[in-house]
Structure 1
Amino acid sequence: MENFKSHFTFSKKQRNGIFLLVLIIVGLQAVYFFVSFSSEDVQVNQDELQAFQKEIDSLRLVEIEKRKPKIYPFNPNYITDYKGYTLGMTNEEIDRLLAFRKQDKWVNSAKEFQDVTQVSDSFLSKISPYFKFPEWVTNPKPKKEYAYKNNNQPKTYTQKQDLNTASATQLQKVNGIGEAYSKRIVAYREKYGGFIADVQLQEIYGLSPEVIERLTEQFTVKTPKEVDKISLNSATIEELVTIQYIDYEIAHHIIEQRTLRDGYQSLDDLLKVKSFPSNKIDIIKLYLKLN
């Protein structure tokens, strides 16, 4: 204990030195807190400051504009769930448009888009400037006043030209088939390696039933594309989903009904399958067989 106290025993001179050191520290702290060392003569050019602030604000606005998502012209008929979400559409509005398109119907104006989706006027005015419809919708050719007369009399099967070998120029001889439609027909044929049957003309965007009827009076599929048809009564889900318009859900319902019915008796029995795209059955039947 005595050794411990010896460390805190100071002489008179040492105590005076410590006291003086404490006074110096306290004085310096007081000077630091109460004396301002800043210059009061700093002059600020307000005009330059405002000009600099405006430049900063303008750069900030430019950066904000750059970060905004850009919208490019698009056809509203092809709006997906993700596209509709990024545009600001509600789930209900997107579902109405998708249900409308599932009926093979097309939106051909901003007003029709609003009628189908029921979007607000403010939202329509914001996105409608970006709508881009096909040329034949925005600038339709004026209809001739006289009634159409079919000078091309229906031909027999032998007289008809093969739809799988006809050129775009030959197709344009049919009334209602212009350059655009003939190119679409040839492009579809090349994409799928040829037509299987005339019914596939329904897949060509924009062809009306009347034009298809006039077309098949002059052309027909004589050399159909060879297809390995899938047996409806033994096909697996993986085989069924390779067919156009059949997804995994529909394939599951097809097999479920096949089990309940102990096999299908006709391809038309598919019309009784839940969620089956009945308007596409003629296309789907091209890839199926019973046995």
Structure 2
Amino acid sequence: MNIKSHFVFSKKQRSGIFLLLLIILFLLGFSHFLLPKMMNTDPGFTTNDKDVSGFIKQIDSLKAIEIDNRKPKIYPFNPNFITDYKGYTLGMTTQEIDRLLVFRKQDQWVNSVKQFQQVTKVSDTLLAKISPYFKFPDWVTHPKQKQEAFTKSFSKSPKSEGQKLDLNSATAAQLQKVYGIGPSYSERIVKYRQKINGFHAFIELQEVYGLTPEVIQNVKDNFTIKNPRAITKMALNTATKEQLVTIKYIDYEVAHHIIEERILRDGFKSIDELTKVNGFPVNKIQIIKLSLRLD
């Protein structure tokens, strides 16, 4: 087969091919250079047209509204319960969020905008932006003034053991006779007592929000626990992880570290050695000890 014969053209064929190439080049040049200029000079398609400009502005406005609608909305909230995600959406740094979480783990509460800044160390600019959404409980924002005057009228003098009433049967009115205990605190004590089915030890009063060590001591000076709540104590040196996590303030991570430390020590010699466990809530050791024993 003679392939060369396919590439041999006559004079007319060469002229036709050349003309076709010129037409192709002309069309390419027209589409890339002349056509865009013609479209820009079209009086019906100019960006200076008022109707088009108005339409573009309307589109931009709708885009801005949609972007604003997609932003996270801030609703009134209690700053004591800010999570990592909530703090991030508010614009807080990781360090600021961590300071608040550490503060709350100590069972302390933020009760004012000023205290929130002292704890978290947020900037004045961010504080001014988010503080209008802070919502504290009514008893913080509207404290009862008459309660202070009411409690100041009582004596701090402790009673003898024979004069003391049983804390597990005391009424709210009887509790209010203690210096530092008003209607709100007495109601909280009674509610917490009902929740746990009676007190086992005075240390459990620490779980009642707002009670200071001084007030708890005043309660001890005026009351006794004649019928403590029964508690089945768990053997610290044989308890499994699943058993340990049933104790308040001990989660799976802490339980894991307790067992690791127990193996390293070949058993705990004292319950107080738990304070050496990684991540252990040291400030709650007295509460946790109520549920443990050494064999």
For Structure 1 versus Structure 2, the TM-score category normalised by the shorter chain is 0.7 to 0.9
CA contact (8 A) 1:240 1:251 kept: yes
In 1: Cα distance, 2:226 partner to 2:57 partner: 74
Equivalent residue number for residue 82 of structure 1: 85
How far off its partner does 1:76 sit?
1.4
Equivalent position to 2:231, from 223, 227, 232: 227
Q: Are residue 93 (structure 1) and residue 93 (structure 2) matched?
A: no
Equivalent position to 1:162, from 155, 160, 167: 167
Equivalent position to 1:200, from 185, 199, 204: 204
Q: Are residue 218 (structure 1) and residue 222 (structure 2) matched?
A: yes
Please give the TM-score of this superposition, normalised by the length of structure 2.
Answer: 0.72
In 2: Cα distance, 1:156 partner to 1:174 partner: 15
CA contact (8 A) 2:161 2:224 kept: no
How far off its partner does 1:134 sit?
3.0
User: 1:107-146 residue pairs with structure 2 within 5 A?
Assistant: 107-142=110-145
Name the SS for the 1:116 alignment partner: helix
| Percent identity of equivalent pairs | 60
How far off its partner does 1:99 sit?
1.8
How far off its partner does 1:151 sit?
6.1
In 2: Cα distance, 1:153 partner to 1:93 partner: 44
Please tell me the residue identity of whatever aligns with 2:161: T
User: 1:165-184 residue pairs with structure 2 within 5 A?
Assistant: 165-184=169-188
CA contact (8 A) 1:185 1:204 kept: yes
User: 1:21-36 residue pairs with structure 2 within 5 A?
Assistant: none
* 1:179/1:47 CA distance change after superposition, 3 Å: farther
Equivalent position to 2:249, from 240, 245, 250: 245
User: 1:26-65 residue pairs with structure 2 within 5 A?
Assistant: 64-65=67-68
In 1: Cα distance, 2:181 partner to 2:114 partner: 28
CA contact (8 A) 1:161 1:218 kept: no
* 1:88/1:224 CA distance change after superposition, 3 Å: same
In 2: Cα distance, 1:227 partner to 1:158 partner: 27
Please tell me the residue identity of whatever aligns with 1:263: G
In 2: Cα distance, 1:158 partner to 1:260 partner: 49
Deviates more, 1:150-159 or 1:215-224: 150-159
Please tell me the residue identity of whatever aligns with 1:266: S
In 2: Cα distance, 1:193 partner to 1:88 partner: 43
* 1:257/1:48 CA distance change after superposition, 3 Å: closer
In 1: Cα distance, 2:240 partner to 2:113 partner: 44
Name the SS for the 1:262 alignment partner: coil
Equivalent residue number for residue 71 of structure 2: 68
Please tell me the residue identity of whatever aligns with 2:76: P
* 1:49/1:272 CA distance change after superposition, 3 Å: closer
In 2: Cα distance, 1:269 partner to 1:198 partner: 22
* Unaligned segments of structure 1, at least 5 residues: 1-41
Q: For the aligned residues, what is the CA RMSD?
A: 4.4
* 1:262/1:125 CA distance change after superposition, 3 Å: same
* 1:81/1:153 CA distance change after superposition, 3 Å: same
Q: Are residue 279 (structure 1) and residue 283 (structure 2) matched?
A: yes
* 1:213/1:95 CA distance change after superposition, 3 Å: same
Equivalent residue number for residue 31 of structure 2: none
CA contact (8 A) 2:156 2:179 kept: no
* 1:53/1:236 CA distance change after superposition, 3 Å: same
Q: Are residue 260 (structure 1) and residue 251 (structure 2) matched?
A: no
CA contact (8 A) 1:96 1:116 kept: yes
Please give the TM-score of this superposition, normalised by the length of structure 1.
Answer: 0.73
Tell me the number of residue pairs that the alignment of Structure 1 and Structure 2 aligns.
288
* 1:277/1:186 CA distance change after superposition, 3 Å: same
Name the SS for the 1:176 alignment partner: coil
Please tell me the residue identity of whatever aligns with 1:159: K
Name the SS for the 2:290 alignment partner: helix
